[in-house]
Chains A and B, each alone.
Chain A
Amino acid sequence: MERNLVFIALFAALIAALGLIPQVMLPFGVPITAQSLGVMLCGTVLGARRGGLAVLLFVGLVALGLPLLSGGRGGLGVFASPTAGFVIGFPVAAFVTGWITENWRSAPVGLAAGVAALLGGVVVLYAFGIVGLSVVLGKTLGESALLVTAFLPGDSIKAAIAGMLTMALARARPASVLSRV
C-alpha cells in the first residue's frame, strides 16, 4: 500500500518537475513541453488506477494554489482559463492510457504504450480540451477543434515517445512498470 502511495506521489512530483525543466527538443528541432508527456507516462507506467490518481493528485495540487503547471502557472485561475478543459482532462487521459496499456497484453509493451498514449493522451485529452475551449471562448465545438489542430502532430510524436520510453523503462526496471506487472 505504501509503495502504491509513494509511486503515485512521486509521479505527481515528476509531472511537476517536468514542467520546471526547460523545453525538450524533438528530433526535427521542434521544442515540446515535457509535462503532457509526463501525464502519458503516468498512465503507461503506473496503469489506469494509480496513473489516474497520480495525475488527479497533481491537478488537485494545482487547484490548491501550487505553481506546478509549465510556466509556473497554477491556482484556481487555470480552471477558469481556456486551457481548463485540458487540465481537467489530464487525469482521465492518464486513466484511459493506463487502461489500454494494462489490458492490451498481446502487444509488446512499447506498442501498447504508444497506442495507449495516443488514444488517451491525445484523443481523449483533446476531447476534454476542445469542450473547455468552446465553453470559455464561446465558440462551437467544430471551431474549437480547428484551433487545436496545429498541436496534433507534436502531441502525436509525444505519444510515440511515451511508448519508446515505456519500452526502455520496462527493460531497465521491469518491476516498476506497474501497468504490466
Chain B
Amino acid sequence: MISLTSPVRTAAHGWPAGGKLLALCLATTGLFLVHNLVFQGAAFALCLTIYALPGRLFFVAGFSRLRMLWPFLALIFVWHVVTGTPGQGAVIALRMISAVALANLVTMTTTLGQMIAVVRWLAAPLRRFGISTRPLEIAIAMVVRFTPVLAQKGQALGQSWRARSPRRPGWKIIMPFTLLAIDDAEHVADALRARGGAIDVEPGTKNQ
C-alpha cells in the first residue's frame, strides 16, 4: 500500500518525526490563537515558500492535496461576502489552508516506518507495565496487507453484479463484501494461532 510520503527527498525527510509532530502542534495552535489578517497572510506565504523550496514537483503535489478544501473555501467566501465580513472570512480561509498545508507537509516528509516508530515510543510506558505492544504492530501490518486484497475482492463483486444487471451496484453488495472480510478474518486468525499467536507466550521470556 502506498503511503502519502513524497518521493521527492527534502531536508525534512531526515528530521526526527517526533520533532516535526511537536512543531506541527505548536504551529497549528499558534495559527488558531492569532486572529490577525497580517499574521495569517504571512503564515500562508511561509507555507508557500516551504512548499516551493524542494522544487516544482513537490509544490504541485502538495497543493493538489489541498483541492479537497475548495467547497469549504467557496462556502466561506459566499458566507462572508453575504454577511459583509470579508476580513474575518480571509482570516478563516488562510488559517484553514495553512493548517492543512503544514499538517500535510509533515505527512509528506515522514515515512510510515518513522511514524510507527513514534507510536512505539509513545506506547513505551505500556511495555514497562508488561503489556505487549506486539498486537498493535501486527494489527497495523494486517490492515496494510489486507486493504488492497479486500478492495480487489470488492471490485470483483462489482463486476459480478454488472455481469448480472444493467444497473450500477446497489447497497446490497456490501453484504457479500462484509462476508468476505469475516471469512478472511477467521482463516487469518487460525493462521496466526498456528504461528504462535499474537504475543510470544513462552514462559520465562520477557516481552519486548
Contact = CB atoms under 8 A, between A and B. Distances in A.
**Majority secondary structure, B binding face:** helix
Interface size, A (range): 35 or more
Nearest to B98: A80
A118 to B, nearest CB: 16
Contacts of A13: 142-143, 146-147, 149-150, 181
**Majority secondary structure, A binding face:** helix
B193 interface: yes
Interface in B125-144: 135, 138-140, 142-144
A66 B170 CA distance: 27
Contacts, number: 201
Nearest to B115: A64
Nearest to B135: A5
A6 B142 contact: yes
B92 A64 contact: no
Interface string B85-121: 0001001100010011111101110101001100100
23 contacts: A1-B197, A5-B198, A9-B142, A11-B181, A16-B143, A18-B174, A21-B151, A22-B158, A25-B169, A26-B170, A26-B171, A45-B182, A65-B5, A65-B110, A66-B1, A67-B2, A73-B68, A77-B103, A80-B103, A82-B72, A135-B32, A165-B175, A169-B175
Interface of B: 1-5, 24, 28, 32, 65-66, 68-69, 72, 75-76, 79, 88, 91-92, 96, 99-104, 106-108, 110, 112, 115-116, 119, 135, 138-140, 142-144, 146-147, 149-151, 153-155, 158, 167-171, 173-175, 177-179, 181-186, 188-189, 192-193, 197-199
